[in-house]
């Protein structure tokens, strides 16, 4: 197996064509480089994201197919709709970005570790300070019980990770985010790779080529309302 190596000193921030990504493991494109804001932004603009274990070289991925959610295709189950109507939870944007990332980094029952290292957290916090990375926080009273974070470019939101400390908290975060992004004119939410959790919310798989075409169109578009800068939910929004 041979993949493209990015020297740590590279300042071009370029990546090989995504068509060069391996079929197995699916989407592995390159290794090396760094997590500078310039490199991360260029990666996402080209349908590439980092995913690797702490202490190992940075690995860059562009899987085929790609899992996405189109806002109009969002599915909200009856039980989730009832939960939303009860109004037990309060949702905010961009008020606890680092805390959301740290919560996403906590080991899950089925996991032995986490890929969200301190290095990853610091890198995305820099993007947050630039107004490009955003978080959704779900509160029950004064307790942070769920949320998600990701990166916004043009009219695309690249979802990175989510967490729940109570039932449906991450779904509540995603529903609020999708409805807000839909109002702002976003065309797609990137879920990166498939998961049963995302499929229950209306996620679907499209080819990498279709995703890249969609990405080029959406990131070339005029910046939508709500970006850049810190985000707030519209007060009249009904998820």
Average pLDDT across each block of 10 residues of the chain; the chain has 239 residues. List them in order. 89 96 97 97 97 94 98 96 94 98 85 78 97 97 98 95 96 97 96 91 97 91 62 88
Q: In the chain, what are the domain boundaries?
A: 4-63, 67-220
CB count in 10 Å sphere of residue 28: 19
* Interatomic CA distance for residues 207 and 157, integer angstroms: 18
Give me the pLDDT at residue 224, please: 53
CATH class in words for 4-63: alpha beta
Instruction: Work out the angle between the directed axes of helices 97-104 and 118-129 (0-180°, nearest 10).
Output: 150
Give me the pLDDT at residue 112, please: 46
Residues in a beta bridge with 137: 92, 147
Give me the pLDDT at residue 8, please: 87
* Interatomic CA distance for residues 28 and 18, integer angstroms: 9
Helix (H) or strand (E) holding 139: strand 133-140
- Given a contact cutoff of 8 angstroms between Cβ atoms, the answer to whether 149 and 122 are in contact is no
**CATH of region 67-220:** 3.40.630.70
Could you give the C-alpha distances from 169 to 36, 37, 69, 166, in angstroms and in order?
Answer: 31, 30, 18, 6
């Amino acid at each position: 197996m041979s993949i493209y190596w990015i020297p740590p000193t590279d300042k071009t921030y370029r990546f090989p064509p995504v068509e060069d990504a391996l079929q197995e493991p699916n989407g592995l494109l390159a290794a090396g480089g760094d997590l500078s804001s310039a490199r991360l932004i260029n990666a996402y603009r080209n349908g590439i994201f980092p995913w690797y274990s702490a202490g190992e070289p940075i690995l860059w991925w562009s899987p085929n197919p790609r899992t996405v959610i189109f806002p109009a295709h969002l599915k909200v189950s009856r039980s989730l709709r009832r939960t939303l109507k009860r109004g037990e939870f309060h949702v905010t944007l961009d008020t606890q970005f680092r805390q959301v990332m740290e919560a996403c980094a906590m080991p899950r029952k089925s996991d032995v570790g986490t890929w969200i290292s301190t290095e990853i957290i610091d890198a995305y916090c820099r993007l947050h300070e630039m107004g490009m990375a955003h978080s959704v926080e779900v509160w029950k009273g004064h307790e942070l019980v769920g949320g998600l974070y990701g990166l916004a470019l043009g009219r695309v939101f690249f979802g990175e990770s989510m967490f729940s400390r109570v039932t449906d908290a991450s779904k509540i975060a995603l529903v609020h985010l999708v409805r807000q992004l839909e109002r702002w004119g976003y065309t797609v939410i990137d879920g990166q790779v498939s998961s049963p959790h995302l499929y229950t919310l209306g996620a679907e798989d499209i080819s990498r080529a279709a995703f890249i075409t969609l990405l080029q169109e959406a990131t070339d578009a005029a910046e939508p309302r709500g970006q850049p800068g810190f985000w707030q939910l519209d007060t009249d929004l009904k998820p």
